[in-house]
A and B are shown apart, each in its own frame.
Chain A
Amino acid sequence: MSIKLNALFSDSYIDISQYRDQHFKGNRYEQEKLLKQSCTLYVGNLSFYTTEEQVYELFSKCGDVKRIIIGLDKVKKTACGFCFVEYYTRADAEHAMRFVNGTRLDDRIIRTDWDAGFKEGRQYGRGKSGGQVRDEYRQDYDPARGGYGKLAQLQRTPEAPHKF
């Protein structure tokens, strides 16, 4: 008899974002379908020094964590400021989107977003220099993310004089 008043009780924190993985093997519809049932979260804006242990501790507050994959610089193979967190259930991942997204880990506001699912290779940064794309072009100085952005670093270091 009675209705749910869905318009009033929104759950916007668990909505999928605008981001779509350009390397995803499949069409937009397929990607969105996976995002809407996924138990895996992308976590961004981590410090390069944030450890797997810290991520475990924080995200375990929302449920049992199945695995964590720390994002790596493709060249250096060191942490480059993002990771994937996979839960056993969707419900637990939703709690993380509602209550961990936008709070601090290692003193930084972190961001979580739905991920279509980890595949080998996705643990690497896609920036030209090996890290994340966002660290290629940013102009600010972030000591926890290698200092200046890669482009800004090149602009700052004077080039060796050409020999002619």
Chain B
Amino acid sequence: MSRRRHSDENDGAQPHKRRRTSEPIEIEDRLESLICRVGEKSTSSLESNLEGLAGVLEADLPNYKNKILRILCAVARLLPEKLTVYTTLVGLLNARNYNFGGEFVEAMIRQLKETLKSNLYSEAVYLVRFLSDLVNCHVIAAPSMVAMFENFVSVTQEEDIPQVRSDWYVYAVLSCLPWVGKELYEKKDVEMDRLLNQIDGYLKRRQKIHVPMLQVWSAEKPHPQEEYLDCLWAQVQKLKKDRWQERHILRPYIAFDSVLCEALQHNLPPFTPPAHSDDAVYPMPHVVFRMFDYTDAPEGPVMPGSHSVERFVIEENLHCIIKSHWRERKTCAAQLLSYPGKNKIPLNYHIVEVIFGELFQLPSPPHIEVMYTALLIELCKLQPGSLPQVLAQATEMMYMRLDTMNTTCVDRFVSWFAHHLSNFQFRWSWDDWADCLTVDNEKPKPKFVKEVLEKCMRLSYHQRIVDIVPPSFSALIPAEPMFQYKYEDESNTASLPGFATAVTVTNAIKNRASNEEILAVLKEIPNPNQDDDDDEGDGFNPLKIDVFLQTLLHLAAKSFSHSFSALAKFHEVLKTLTESDEGKLHILKVVYEAWRKHPQMIAVLVDKMIRTQIVDCAAVANWIFSSDMAHDFTRLYMWEILHSTIRKMNKHVQKIQKELEEAKDKLEKQQHKKQKDSGDEEDMEKNSDDEDGQLEEQIERLQEKVESAQSEQKNLFLVIFQRFIMLLTEHLVRCETGSVDINTSWYKNCIERLQQIFLMHHVIIQQYMGTLENLLFTAELDHHILAVYQQFCALQL
């Protein structure tokens, strides 16, 4: 007789319980492991593994049904790249145990509702796709799936909803059709035609103002950057024309057809899409990134066309693999390279295209940028004979198309390329890019090379850069990052005001003078701006700032740490000198003048000065837009400083908001506790009243702090937008009066930088839409500028 673990009919509760304490956890882990790993490399065929696993699970159903249900629901949600493996497994289980199949379907529906409520829209798509593939496995009856799709598509008839809501429901339906289109058309072609017609109508009337803002390249050639729903629709139409013949998707259930078609199917319960609510955050629209076509992969398998459904499926699966494994770069690379069916497609090209698609995605990449660099390096390691060449080809292609590449994407291209090169001894065939030397330096190609070399220098050193590029490229090499000391030359004693004091200050600092002593020395300096009434001389004195800061930074020029120490040591002096807004602006000016050849140093000093409140964020914004900085306005480092400044502002607001929430929670808990403890001695009540009072005071203070921080944040964005509008309007008016084409390199850069502000900080900016519309982006504005605002609004409509 077999020693069955779960023999309830035996002795009684005791032995049964004893056996259960050590085994179930191990068994549950084993179940999880078995289910998760099915489909991976194995000595046996996938079919026999699935058959075996189905047998094991069927046997475990009586005791581990709930656990198995939960694991299967989880893999449906989290392992979409293995969709058909798991639908087949569920199909086999359903064939052996009809009730289990029904319970699984119910559990999936519950999970779907939860994911929709929690704004987990990409996971919800995987669940819907899973359900639809269950039709192919005879678990779900086709008519009930069609009914669910009909309910989804009816969302397009809802009124007063954001477009992104109906977009999602249409996307969910369309993205299932590669898997289940054939089956549904065979069973319910009339209904499906009607469905597709409705979708067609919707797609024709939905607005696409947002598209230009999301495109990586503005040119249509060689590959149009299509809006994602348009592309998917074209793919589905082509699939329909091909009579739903789809040959790429791996379908293990076909091998089990004789077993599965004997199974009884379940009907999906009628599914009403949850109503729209204000907290719903639907996915933003996106544009399909394409850089390769069949002409680019010279040998081997042909790349599926841009409107083929194969292309859609491959890209979906590769995106899913990255989503699952981005934290583990070696695993991620290995999983990408072992994509099933890889021998029939130019896999390296697909992988490179998908990775760059994510890296350049607007508004922002799904994962941190540095991940993609690390992942590409791992891929090069695993396929050293083929991947580096594809990557080089891609880089070359992107260089060729720089003229129409979105500035934000160019930034990311620069950062990626420099970082990548630094891992490969900066080896590159720069001569191939000699064409960039023949045009004006502000044009996209030479500008790109300049920025790349600047970033490469930051990761190495100046002489290295000189060594790695051909001599013809010397005009594009960054300056040697040296301090520019104003008070260097002694022969300037007479001509340069403040020179003498600079020497005094130098000696004072070397002799470890205190803040007061320094301030006393600085009092001697005459104020070029001085009003006669300003006897104290405490007003804004640009010369004082100049002399002190130039000297201080000169003494501390050796390294970042030295400079930070200097700023910390003389914090008091600096705060005094920069009390006024003019003071704050001037200190930035002085920092720039001193370190203009070392933008990296400028960036870290500005960062420190904000964090130690020597300058505020608005001052930095005003400085960046000031006429003094106009010549550097298109340089990448300026925008890195601005975005870093905005991020600091945002984090500051978040931090205080969090403190406020925590204090409020604490008060609530305390009051709750008081209610429960009431009836205790008077003393305790009095103490807790005091505690309450203190907390309430703290909450009031924090509330004020939050309001003040939010006001500062709003003001920062207003300043930035105002300055953009002024600059752009000036340019547009000048061009119009001069009858000159507005589309200069500067203009393209500037207008895309404006877009970048919206895209990079869209969550925060959305809070201020009302003010923006009433104060700044009004109908009187030039339509070129207004278009940017309108495109932004269209992103979440």
Name A residues whose Cβ lies closer than 8 Å to a Cβ of B.
1-5, 7-14, 51-54, 56-58, 61-62, 64, 67-70, 95, 98-100, 103-107
Contact = CB atoms under 8 A, between A and B. Distances in A.
Contacts of B324: 9
9 contacts: A3-B70, A5-B36, A10-B331, A13-B329, A58-B459, A61-B369, A64-B644, A100-B374, A106-B459
B29 A7 contact: yes
Given A95-B370, A98-B329, A105-B459, A5 B71 contact: yes
B111 interface: yes
B418 to A, nearest CB: 9
A12 B328 contact: yes
Contact of A57 (B329, B331, B368, B458): B458
Contact of B600 (A2, A11, A53): A53
B369 A5 contact: no
Interface stretch (B72-80, B356-364, B524-532, B784-792): B72-80
Contacts of B36: 5, 7-8
Contacts of B455: 57
A1 B107 contact: yes
B419 to A, nearest CB: 7
B74 A5 contact: yes
Given A99-B371, A99-B374, A1 B73 contact: yes
Most buried by B among A5, A10, A11, A64: A5
Most buried by B among A1, A67, A70: A1
B559 A62 contact: no
Contacts of B77: 2
Nearest to B600: A53
Interface string B125-149: 0000000000000000000000000
Contact of A5 (B32, B460, B461, B601): B32
A2 B370 contact: no
Q: Dominant SS at the A interface?
A: mixed
B328 A11 contact: yes
Given A61-B369, A61-B370, A99-B374, A3 B74 contact: yes
Nearest to A109: B423
Most buried by B among A8, A52, A95, A105: A8
B422 A53 contact: no
B604 to A, nearest CB: 7
A56 B32 contact: no
A3 B71 contact: yes
Contact of A52 (B70, B371, B422, B560): B560
B83 interface: no
A56 B604 contact: yes
Interface in B754-775: none
Given A2-B70, A52-B560, A54-B460, 16 more contacts: A1-B110, A2-B73, A5-B71, A8-B78, A9-B78, A10-B327, A13-B327, A53-B600, A57-B455, A58-B459, A64-B647, A98-B374, A100-B370, A100-B374, A104-B422, A106-B459
B561 interface: yes
B177 to A, nearest CB: 26
B377 interface: yes
Interface in B313-328: 324-325, 327-328
Contacts of B560: 52-53, 56, 68
B321 to A, nearest CB: 12
Nearest to B644: A64
B2 interface: no
B376 to A, nearest CB: 11
Most buried by A among B422, B559, B561: B422
Interface in B406-430: 415, 419, 422-423, 425
Contacts of A107: 425
Contacts of A12: 328
Contacts of A51: 461, 559
Q: Give the 10 A-B residue pairs with the shortest CB-CB distance, closest first.
A: A99-B374, A57-B458, A61-B370, A104-B423, A99-B370, A11-B327, A2-B73, A8-B36, A2-B74, A3-B74
B373 interface: yes
A1 B114 contact: yes
Interface string B459-473: 111000000000000
B263 to A, nearest CB: 25
A52 to B, nearest CB: 5
Contacts, number: 107
B374 to A, nearest CB: 4
Given A2-B70, A5-B75, A95 B368 contact: yes
Contacts of A10: 327-328, 331
A152 B614 CA distance: 51
Given A11-B327, A57-B600, A95-B368, A52 B561 contact: yes
Most buried by A among B79, B327, B328, B455: B327
A105 to B, nearest CB: 7
A98 B328 CA distance: 7
B458 A103 contact: no
A64 B73 CA distance: 38
A13 B329 CA distance: 9
Nearest to A106: B460
Contacts of B460: 54, 106
A107 B460 CA distance: 9
A5 B78 contact: yes
B74 A4 contact: yes
A56 B644 CA distance: 15
B459 A98 contact: no
A121 to B, nearest CB: 17
Contacts of A52: 559-561
Interface in B60-106: 70-71, 73-75, 77-79
Contacts of A103: 374, 377, 423
Contacts of B110: 1
Contacts of A5: 32, 36, 71, 74-75, 78
B74 A53 contact: no
Interface in B1-51: 29, 32-33, 36
B458 A54 contact: yes
A13 B600 contact: no
A103 B604 CA distance: 24
A62 B369 CA distance: 9
Contacts of B415: 61
Most buried by A among B415, B460, B607: B460
Given A1-B107, A2-B70, A104-B422, A7 B32 contact: yes
B70 A62 contact: no
A112 B374 CA distance: 15
A140 B647 CA distance: 46
A42 B601 CA distance: 23
Nearest to A88: B651
Contact of B111 (A2, A57, A70): A2
Most buried by B among A11, A12, A57: A57
Contacts of A69: 561
B624 to A, nearest CB: 19
A97 B742 CA distance: 47
Contacts of B29: 7
